[in-house]
């Protein structure tokens, strides 16, 4: 199998390591394979791919979409970033818990977070490029975010001076999100 499950977290998040074929010319690796992903319980339907480039200490997130619900398969292709996922599923035993892992172009890990998880990242290198496959098409009317430093979640971000968008700096807390009717889209 070209993929190895490194860990499973919060009843939904899967960290994958890909088999790398190195030689004197460079390397080759599979980043997606429908048959293998299906056996691992990861969506095999990805109608949208995104690519983000950010500078050191940029924090993006915590983002999610409920209409349609979107899962994301994320990897870092340049540099290093701390990828984070937070469980926002009502009635989940891990509601409000977070998982974070350092992912780099060098370690080539991939992180799957299904719908019901808010996602974000912090850039650790001078620059990082993050690519992610999405299980749905972006819809600005069906997406939101949660405050990156919500004290009820308590993410241990690896930066003291994050660079944030105005939208991320003023996002609602998880408790505020859970009080909205849209939050009922994510149930455990």
Tell me which H or E stretch contains 77. Answer: strand 72-78
Which one from 27, 63, 138, 188 is the annotated catalytic residue? 63
> Taking the CB of residue 146, how many other CB atoms lie within 10 A of it?
25
Rounded Cα–Cα distance for residues 125 and 103 (Å): 11
45 in catalytic set: no
CA distance 163 to 127: 13
The Cα 28–Cα 22 span in angstroms is 7
Tell me: cis bond preceding 87? Omega within 30 of 0 counts: no
Does 63 participate in catalysis according to the annotation?
yes
- By C-alpha distance, which of 78, 73, 100 is closest to 18? 73
Strand 20-23 relative to strand 127-134, pairing:
unpaired
Q: Which of 27, 51, 132, 188 is catalytic?
A: 132
Q: Which residues are catalytic?
A: 63, 132
């Amino acid at each position: 199998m070209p993929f190895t499950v490194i860990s499973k977290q919060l009843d939904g998040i899967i960290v994958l390591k890909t088999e790398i074929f190195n030689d004197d010319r460079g390397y080759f690796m599979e980043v997606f394979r429908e048959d293998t992903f299906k056996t691992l319980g990861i969506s095999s339907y990805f109608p949208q791919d995104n690519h983000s480039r950010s500078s050191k200490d940029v924090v993006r997130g915590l983002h999610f979409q409920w209409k349609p619900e979107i899962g994301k398969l994320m990897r870092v292709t340049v540099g290093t970033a701390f990828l984070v996922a937070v469980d926002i599923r009502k009635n989940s035993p891990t509601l409000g818990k977070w998982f974070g892992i350092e992912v780099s172009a060098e370690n080539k890990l991939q992180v799957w977070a299904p719908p019901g998880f808010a996602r974000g990242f912090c850039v650790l290198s001078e620059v990082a490029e993050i690519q992610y496959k999405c299980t749905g098409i972006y819809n600005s009317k069906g997406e939101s975010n949660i405050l990156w430093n919500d004290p009820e979640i308590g993410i241990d971000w690896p930066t003291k001076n994050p660079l944030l968008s105005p939208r991320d700096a003023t996002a609602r807390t998880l408790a505020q999100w859970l009080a909205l009717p849209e939050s009922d889209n994510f149930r455990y």
